[in-house]
Structure 1
């Protein structure tokens, strides 16, 4: 996705918007760093992908993980976060014209489910890094992460319910006003 984006025709206005959304998503993690798994990053990625599409959603998600970890710490988990948040953006973009993203109830369900999926993908990294690759270790990691995954899912619900409709309208208006024609088969 990132290579495809790199090879696409992106004008300077669109690039500025994408960079701004990456920065907002990344910096929004910092004030919530003391509350594990509660942050508006996933929300920003979802609403950006609803307006800009799958490819841009993936780039914004992956970029948000990379940039936010410049503040919170880079490590071997960073690529996993990049893939996880990239997939959040990609799936939101793929589904942007469906009832799932157009209907608030199903949009909230989407965000809630991704709160858990994000954690489950990150758990793979944890299990791979352990010496004991038994079934009980695998189950223990997933059970131990339940609270954090639930916190992420509930924070996604809150931010999407409170702000997603307005953010989608604002970003769509910005896209129209500045003539950002997103020309890509995945968008």
Structure 2
């Protein structure tokens, strides 16, 4: 029985990585190649991809409505975190909220929260060819945070000051190294007609200040809100016996 459960867990993990690492990036790139207007279809496909591994995890058990409610609440909180700072250029705490969702809920819900919250918040900031790229970037942020938490690398509650500091620095570094460059790649494909090493370097270099501001917002938010939010979500999981 235990071997069967471990085999099922490995299969679900492999499916999740297939969605995040293969299908979603290919679809986002293809949507950019098809040009204007295709981003609506691409965004819907990304959401479908995000939902597949999540609902596969329900295969052997009866899903509880409260599990979906928690995911919806985290999506709403992530959207509010971005919209509330609309008046501050580039200073958006949304990545931190998505990472906290991944740590608390797991890798698959983390990717789903990241993808959905960017799609929804772009109804305020504006939909465009960048939307699927944002969904991919922040979905990966939630997925990686959840993946590390599932393996005990990131504590799911009661973080010490040292753990909070490390999480904040790691979150900021992830924004600079992964999230930001993915968004810069979108700019490279949509703004440059002929991609050369020089034009690529110019795009990525110009994106560094923006990524640094976003990383600062991520670090501050993680340090301040990680313990309160993770503590509340952990209590909900324990109280209602929710699976992860």
TM-score, normalised by the number of residues in structure 2: 0.71
Distance 1:32 1:180 in 2: 32
How has the CA–CA distance of structure 1 residues 16 and 99 changed in structure 2, closer, same or farther, with 3 Å as cutoff? closer
Query: 1:145 is matched with which residue?
Result: 207
Structure 1 residue 122, shift from structure 2 partner: 0.5
Cα pair distance change 1:92/1:168, threshold 3 Å: same
For residue 97 of structure 1, report the CA deviation from its aligned partner: 4.6
Residue 185 of structure 2 corresponds to residue 124 of structure 1: yes
Q: Rate the CA distance shift 1:5–1:97 in 2: closer, same or farther, 3 A.
A: closer
CA distance in 1, matches of 2:193, 2:55: 38
Cα contact 1:99–1:106 (8 A) shared by 2: no
Aligned to 1:25: 78
2:94 matched to 1:41?
A: yes
Query: Please, which of 97, 113, 116 is the counterpart of residue 173 of structure 2?
Result: 113
Q: Which residue of 2 aligns with 1:64?
A: 117
Secondary structure in structure 2 of the residue aligned to 1:14 = helix
Cα distance in 1 for partners of 2:151, 2:89 equals 32
- Contact 1:111/1:153 (8 A) holds in 2: yes
Q: Which ranges of structure 1 fall in alignment gaps of 5 or more residues?
A: 183-187
4+ runs of 1 displaced by more than 3 Å? 97-100
Note if contact 2:106-2:150 (Cα within 8 Å) is conserved in structure 1.
Answer: no
- In the TM superposition, what whole-angstrom CA distance separates every residue of 1:33-85 from its partner, at most 9, and x where no partner exists? 22222122111111111111101101111111111111211111111111101
Report what 1:135 is aligned to.
197
Matched position secondary structure for 2:154:
helix
Two-structure CA RMSD over aligned residues (Å): 1.5
Per-residue deviation, 1:98: 5.2
Structure 1 distance, partners of 2:153, 2:201, is 31
- Answer with 1 or 2: which has the greater Rg: 2
2:223 counterpart (161, 174, 179): 161
Distance 1:42 1:100 in 2: 19
Count of residues paired in the alignment: 182
Alignment of 1:6-21 (within 5 A): 6-9=55-58, 10-21=63-74
